[in-house]
């Protein structure tokens, strides 16, 4: 696996180039076709075949290799990741890189199609500063509301100066629920 610093800047520049040259839809298409259906097909295969166990296997390995600051929870009805220090967004911020205005959105751009195909929905929120949460439920079994506080490791418990330092985007059952939080 290549290191996070080997692709993050290129992702950022590629997203900006596609947006500038071809528009927003081209960026979203790239996330689906080049990332979700191609470079992350191993994640797709694991999650489609093993459900929550595949999520634990994929993200347990990937986030450890990327040296992310995260926790995850596995329950009978959900799989959750709380990201306290995203290595990708952290790298961009530390190096003053911000070619694409909404870098964090690419995760939902490739993960949502994977979850759709595997029969899951996502509750998700990111703050554009390297913190987010992902809570996946089987489609049809997720509440149509933001999940409850999940305890000490819930990223939303960070001090407001951290969690609320930048604009946030939120999704409930895989649907965007706000433009800017």
- As a whole number of angstroms, the distance between CA 17 and CA 23 comes to 9
Write out the residue range of the structural domain in which residue 34 sits.
4-176
- As a whole number of angstroms, the distance between CA 24 and CA 128 comes to 18
Determine which helix (DSSP H) or strand (DSSP E) holds 61, and give its type and residue range. helix 52-65
Task: Give CB contacts under 8 A, 24+ apart, made by 159-164.
Answer: 162/129, 162/131, 163/127, 163/131, 164/127
Confirm whether 181 is domain-assigned. Answer: no
Contact between 150 and 157 (Cβ < 8 Å): no
- When divided into structural domains, the chain yields a total of 1
Output the tens digit of pLDDT for each of the chain's 181 residues.
556 567 888 899 999 999 999 999 999 999 999 999 999 999 999 999 999 999 999 999 999 988 899 999 999 999 999 999 999 999 999 999 889 999 999 999 999 999 999 999 999 999 999 999 999 999 999 888 899 999 999 999 999 999 999 989 999 999 999 755 4
Confirm whether 69 is domain-assigned. Answer: yes
């Amino acid at each position: 696996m290549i290191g996070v610093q080997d692709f993050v800047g290129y992702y950022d520049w590629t997203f900006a180039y596609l947006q500038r040259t071809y528009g927003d839809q081209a960026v979203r298409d790239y996330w689906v076709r080049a990332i979700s259906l191609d470079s992350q097909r191993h994640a797709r295969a694991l999650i489609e075949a093993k459900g929550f166990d595949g999520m634990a296997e994929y993200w347990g390995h990937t986030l450890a290799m990327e040296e992310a600051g995260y926790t995850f929870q596995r329950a009978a009805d959900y799989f959750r990741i709380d990201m306290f220090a995203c290595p990708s967004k952290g790298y961009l911020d530390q190096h003053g890189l911000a070619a694409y205005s909404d870098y964090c959105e690419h995760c939902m751009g490739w993960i949502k199609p994977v979850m759709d195909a595997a029969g899951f929905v996502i509750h998700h929120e990111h703050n554009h500063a390297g913190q987010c949460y992902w809570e996946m439920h089987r489609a049809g079994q997720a509440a149509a509301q933001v999940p409850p506080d999940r305890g000490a490791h819930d990223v939303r418990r960070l001090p407001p100066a951290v969690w609320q330092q930048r604009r946030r985007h939120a999704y409930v059952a895989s649907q965007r629920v706000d433009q800017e939080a």
